[in-house]
C-alpha cells in the first residue's frame, strides 16, 4: 500500500497541472496579502478562493486522474493486491498531494500573514475541503463509466455545493420567514461542507455584524467547544462518507 | 487730582476685598479638630466659608448643604451612605464639593437616592470626587450653570433595576460635564430637558444600558468623549440642534446595540467622530437635517442604518473602511444627500484623475436589504450566491433604493 501511495503522490506532484495550481495559489495569496492595504480584504479574496476554486480544482482534477489511470488500476487489480488497498492508496495519494499543494500555495502565506486562530481555521477548512472533494470526485468517477458523463456530473456537483445549495437555502428562508429558523439553519449548514466551512470562518471574521440575533445563535453554537467538535465531526463525516460509498462500489465493480 | 481719586477708589475696593476675605472663615473637620463631623461644621458655617475635611470615614447620613460654602476634602475623605441614605444633598447656590470619596448610597427608585444631588440651585461645582457603589451618581434637577468636572463614577450592579444613572441631569440649563469617567451605571450620562450644555472629554464605558442617553434636550454639544462597550451604545432622541464633535464610539455589540442611535433628531451636526467595531455604528430613525462630515467608520457590522423615515441627511467626506455593510435601509424612499465619501468597497475608475470616481457608488447591497428583511439570511453571508445577487443588483437595481448612491465617491481617503 505504501508503495502505491508513494507512486501516486509522486506521479501527481510531478504533474505540471498540480505544479501550476500550487504556483498560482501561491502568487494569488501572496499578492492579495501584499497588495491590499486592508488585511480583511485580502482574507476575503482568499476566502473566495478557498470556497470556490479549491473544490473545483480538486473535484475535476481527481475525476480526470481516476479516469486516466484506468489502465493502471486494471494492472494493479491483476496483481495479488486487495481492491480496498488499491482504492485507498489512490485516494490517499490524491488527497495528500492536493492538500499539500493547497497548504504550500495558500496555507503557508496565510499562516505567515495571519498567524492567529483565523489563519489556522482557514488552513484547516481549506485542507478539509480539498480532501472532501477528492472523495466526492472518486465516488462520481466510480459510479459513472463514461468519462465525459463523469466530468459533467462532478461539475454539476460542484455547482450544487457552491451555488445551488445556497440558492435553495435562500428560497427556504423566504418561504419560512415567519418561523424561527436560526437553529434549523445550523443543521442545514451541516448538509454542505462548503457552507459549514464558510460559517466557521465567517464567525471568526465578521464578529461585529454576526452579533445580530442570527449571528448570536450561530456564535453560541459554533463558538462553544461542543459546536466546534460538531463541525469537525461533520467535516470528518463528509470525508468518510463518499470514500466509504466509492470503496463499496469499487470492490464489486466490473472493470 | 484725578490720579488721587483713582488711587482712593482702588484702595477702597482692595480693603473691601480684604474685609471679604477675612470675613470668610475656614473650618477644619477631622478626628483631631473641634468639628468631628461635617454636619457640625455646616451648622457653624455661614455663606462663603470653606470647610476643609481631613481624611477619614464620615457617616453623616444625609448631608444637607444649605449654605453657599466650599466643601473640600483633603486626601479623599470617605463619605459613607451605609447603603441607606443619599450622601450629599445640595440646596444652596454656588456650593463647591471637591475631593471626596463618596461610597455606598442607598437604593430607591422612588426617591432616586444619589451620591450627590443638586436641588434647583445655580453655579454649583462638583469636582475631583470619586463615587463608588452609588445608586445614582450625580443627580441634578432644575439647576442652572453648574459644573461637574473630573469625577470618577463607578457602580457594580448587574441589573438595570438595581442601578441608577451616572450623571443624571433633569430640566437643567447651561451645564458643563467635563472630564468625568463613568462605568457600571445604568446610563453613563443621562440628559432630559437639558439645554445649552456641553459634555466634554468624558469617558463612559461598560455601562449597563446607554453610555449617553439624551431625551428632549436641545442645543447641547458633546465633544471629545469616549463611549465604549456600553450595553446599547449611545442614544440621542427627540432633540434638536445637537452638535457632536470628535467623539469615539467603540465596541457596542448586540442586535439592539448601536454606536449611536439617532431617533427623531433634527438639525444635528456631526463632525470628526470615530466609529469602530459596533454592530451598527449609526442607526437613524426619523432624523432630519443632520449634517455629517469627516467621520470615520471602521470595522462595523453596519456603518449606517438609515431608515426611510429620515430626510435631508447630508453625508459628506466621511471614510468608510472595512465595514461588513456600508449602509442598510428599510425602504426605497431616500431623501438624503450622499456625496464625496470614501468607500473602501468602491471599484470604479477615475479617468480624469481628479480623485473622484466617475461612476456612482451604491452603498446599499442587495444582500443587506435581504438581511434587513430576513435576519436568518445572515447564514448565507459571504457565499457565492449572495455576491452574485449583489453583482446583478449593481447592474440593474431593482430592490435597493435607486437614488441612494454616492455620485462623487472619493478614490482616496476623504481626509
Burial of B318 by CB count in 10 Å (0-12 exposed, 13-18 middle, 19+ buried)?
A: buried
Please determine, for residue A255, whether its predicted confidence score (pLDDT) is greater than 80: no
Interface of A with B in 103-162 (CB under 8 A): 162
Q: Does A166 touch chain B (CB under 8 A)?
A: yes
pTM: 0.83
Chain A residue numbers with beta carbons less than 8 Å from the beta carbon of B325 are: 209
- In a domain? residue B3: no
Closest partner residue to A47 among B371, B382, B388, by Cβ?
Answer: B382
Q: Is A224 helix (H, G, I), strand (E, B) or coil?
A: coil
φ, ψ of residue A188 to 5 degrees: the values are -65, -40
Chain B, nearest residue to A180 by Cα: B376
- Which residue, among A208, A213, A218, A222, would best test binding to B if mutated, counting the most B CBs under 10 Å from its CB? A208
pLDDT digits over B157-175, tens only? 878 778 899 999 999 999 9
Q: Do A206 and B301 touch (CB under 8 A)?
A: yes
Contact residues for B72 (Cβ-Cβ < 8 A; gap 6+):
B50, B51, B52, B53, B96, B98, B99
Mean pLDDT (chain A) is 89
- In a domain? residue B415: no
pLDDT digits over A126-159, tens only? 999 999 999 999 999 999 989 999 999 999 999 9
* CA distance, residue B223 to nearest chain A CA (Å): 25
Closest partner residue to B302 among A185, A209, A213, by Cβ?
Answer: A209
* CA distance, residue B313 to nearest chain A CA (Å): 24
Which position has the higher pLDDT, A224 or A67? A67
> pLDDT tens string for chain B (415 positions)?
456 777 777 777 767 666 665 567 899 998 888 888 999 999 999 999 999 999 999 998 889 999 999 999 999 999 999 998 999 999 999 999 999 999 999 988 888 899 999 999 999 999 999 999 999 999 999 999 999 999 999 998 878 778 899 999 999 999 999 999 999 999 999 999 999 999 999 999 999 999 999 899 999 999 999 999 888 889 999 999 999 999 999 988 877 788 999 999 999 999 999 999 888 899 999 999 999 999 999 988 889 999 989 999 999 999 999 888 899 888 877 889 999 999 988 888 999 999 999 999 988 888 888 888 888 888 888 888 888 888 888 778 777 888 888 999 999 998 8
- In a domain? residue B407: no
Chain B residue numbers with beta carbons less than 8 Å from the beta carbon of A210 are: 301, 378, 381
The residue to which cell 475635611 is assigned: B53
Chain B residue numbers with beta carbons less than 8 Å from the beta carbon of A55 are: none
* CA distance, residue B338 to nearest chain A CA (Å): 23
Closest partner residue to B382 among A38, A202, A211, by Cβ?
Answer: A202
Chain A, nearest residue to B302 by Cα: A209
- In a domain? residue B42: yes
For residue B267, the domain's CATH number is 2.160.20.10
Q: How far, in Å, CA of B263 to CA of A71, rounded?
A: 73
Closest partner residue to B383 among A166, A207, A210, by Cβ?
Answer: A166
- In a domain? residue B127: yes
Name the maximum alpha-carbon separation found in chain A.
61
Closest partner residue to A169 among B322, B380, B388, by Cβ?
Answer: B380
- In a domain? residue B10: no
In this structure, are residues A104 and A26 in contact, taking their beta carbons and an 8 Å threshold?
yes
**pLDDT interval class at A211 (50, 70, 90):** low
Q: What is the pLDDT of residue B1?
A: 47
- In a domain? residue B11: no
Q: Do A210 and B321 touch (CB under 8 A)?
A: no
- In a domain? residue B414: no
Q: Averaged over A59-64, what is the pLDDT?
A: 95
Q: Do A202 and B375 touch (CB under 8 A)?
A: no
Counting the structural domains of chain B, the total is 1
Question: Whole domain around residue B256: which residue ranges?
Answer: 24-395
Closest partner residue to A170 among B277, B322, B380, by Cβ?
Answer: B380
CA atoms within 13 A on the CB side of B55: 2
In 3D, which of B197, B303, B18 has the Cα closest to residue B167? Answer: B197
Q: Do B278 and A209 touch (CB under 8 A)?
A: no
- Which residue, among B367, B374, B384, would best test binding to A if mutated, counting the most A CBs under 10 Å from its CB? B384
Q: Do A212 and B378 touch (CB under 8 A)?
A: yes
Closest partner residue to A214 among B379, B385, B386, by Cβ?
Answer: B379
Q: Does A206 touch chain B (CB under 8 A)?
A: yes
Amino acid at each position: 500500500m505504501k508503495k502505491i501511495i508513494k507512486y501516486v503522490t509522486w506521479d501527481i506532484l510531478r504533474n505540471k497541472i498540480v505544479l501550476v495550481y500550487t504556483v498560482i495559489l501561491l502568487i494569488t495569496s501572496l499578492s492579495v496579502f501584499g497588495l491590499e492595504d486592508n488585511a480583511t480584504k485580502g482574507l476575503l479574496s482568499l476566502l473566495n478562493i478557498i470556497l470556490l476554486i479549491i473544490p473545483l480544482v480538486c473535484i475535476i482534477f481527481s475525476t480526470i486522474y481516476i479516469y486516466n489511470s484506468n489502465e493502471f488500476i486494471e494492472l494493479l487489480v491483476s496483481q495479488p493486491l486487495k481492491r480496498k488497498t488499491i482504492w485507498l492508496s489512490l485516494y490517499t495519494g490524491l488527497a495528500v498531494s492536493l492538500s499539500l499543494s493547497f497548504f504550500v500555495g495558500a496555507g503557508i502565506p496565510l499562516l505567515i500573514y495571519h498567524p492567529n486562530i483565523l489563519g489556522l481555521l482557514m488552513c484547516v477548512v481549506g485542507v478539509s475541503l480539498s480532501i472532501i472533494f477528492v472523495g466526492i470526485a472518486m465516488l462520481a468517477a466510480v459510479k459513472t463509466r463514461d468519462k465525459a458523463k463523469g466530468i459533467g456530473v462532478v461539475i454539476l456537483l460542484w455547482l450544487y455545493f457552491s451555488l445551488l445549495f445556497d440558492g435553495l437555502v435562500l428560497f427556504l428562508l423566504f418561504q419560512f420567514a415567519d418561523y424561527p429558523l436560526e437553529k434549523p439553519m445550523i443543521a442545514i449548514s451541516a448538509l454542505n461542507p462548503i457552507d459549514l466551512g464558510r460559517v466557521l470562518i465567517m464567525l471568526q471574521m465578521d464578529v461585529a455584524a454576526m452579533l445580530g440575533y442570527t449571528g448570536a445563535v450561530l456564535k453560541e453554537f459554533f463558538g462553544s467547544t461542543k459546536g466546534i467538535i460538531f463541525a469537525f465531526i461533520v467535516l470528518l463525516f463528509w470525508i468518510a462518507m463518499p470514500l466509504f460509498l466509492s470503496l463499496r462500489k469499487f470492490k464489486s465493480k466490473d472493470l | 487730582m484725578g490720579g488721587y481719586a483713582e488711587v482712593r477708589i482702588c484702595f477702597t475696593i482692595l480693603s473691601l476685598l480684604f474685609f471679604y476675605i477675612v470675613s470668610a472663615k475656614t473650618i477644619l473637620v477631622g478626628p483631631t479638630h473641634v468639628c468631628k463631623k461635617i454636619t457640625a461644621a455646616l451648622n457653624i458655617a455661614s455663606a462663603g466659608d470653606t470647610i476643609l475635611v481631613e481624611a477619614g470615614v464620615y457617616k453623616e447620613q444625609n448631608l444637607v448643604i444649605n449654605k453657599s460654602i466650599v466643601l473640600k476634602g483633603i486626601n479623599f475623605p470617605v463619605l459613607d451612605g451605609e447603603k441607606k441614605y443619599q450622601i450629599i444633598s445640595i440646596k444652596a447656590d454656588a456650593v463647591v464639593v471637591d475631593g471626596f470619596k463618596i461610597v455606598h448610597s442607598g437604593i430607591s427608585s422612588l426617591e432616586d437616592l444619589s451620591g450627590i444631588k443638586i436641588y434647583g440651585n445655580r453655579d454649583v461645582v462638583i469636582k475631583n470626587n470619586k463615587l463608588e457603589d452609588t445608586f445614582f451618581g450625580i443627580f441634578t434637577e432644575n439647576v442652572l450653570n453648574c459644573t461637574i468636572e473630573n469625577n470618577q463614577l463607578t457602580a457594580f450592579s448587574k441589573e438595570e433595576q438595581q442601578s441608577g444613572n451616572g450623571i443624571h441631569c433633569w430640566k437643567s440649563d447651561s451645564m458643563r460635564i467635563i472630564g468625568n469617567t463613568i462605568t457600571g451605571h445604568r446610563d453613563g450620562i443621562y440628559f432630559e430637558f437639558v439645554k445649552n450644555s456641553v459634555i466634554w472629554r468624558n469617558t463612559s464605558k461598560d455601562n449597563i444600558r446607554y453610555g449617553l442617553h439624551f431625551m428632549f434636550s436641545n442645543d447641547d454639544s458633546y465633544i471629545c468623549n469616549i463611549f465604549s462597550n456600553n450595553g446599547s451604545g449611545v442614544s440621542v432622541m427627540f432633540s434638536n440642534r445637537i452638535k457632536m464633535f470628535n467623539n469615539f464610539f467603540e465596541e457596542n455589540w448586540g442586535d439592539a446595540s448601536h454606536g449611536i442611535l439617532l431617533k427623531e433628531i433634527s438639525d444635528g451636526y456631526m463632525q470628526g467622530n470615530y466609529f469602530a467595531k459596533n454592530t451598527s455604528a449609526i442607526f437613524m430613525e426619523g432624523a432630519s437635517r443632520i449634517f455629517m462630515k469627516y467621520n470615520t467608520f471602521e470595522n462595523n457590522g453596519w456603518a449606517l442604518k438609515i431608515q426611510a423615515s429620515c430626510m435631508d441627511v447630508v453625508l459628506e467626506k466621511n471614510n468608510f473602511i472595512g465595514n461588513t455593510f456600508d449602509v442598510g435601509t428599510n425602504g426605497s424612499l431616500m431623501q438624503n444627500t450622499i456625496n464625496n465619501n470614501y468607500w473602501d468597497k468602491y471599484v470604479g475608475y477615475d479617468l480624469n484623475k481628479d480623485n473622484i470616481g466617475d461612476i456612482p457608488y451604491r452603498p446599499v447591497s442587495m444582500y443587506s436589504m435581504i438581511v434587513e428583511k430576513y435576519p436568518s439570511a445572515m447564514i448565507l453571508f459571504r457565499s457565492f450566491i449572495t455576491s452574485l445577487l449583489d453583482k446583478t443588483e449593481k447592474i440593474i437595481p431593482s430592490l435597493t433604493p435607486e437614488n441612494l448612491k454616492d455620485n462623487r465617491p472619493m478614490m482616496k481617503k476623504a481626509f
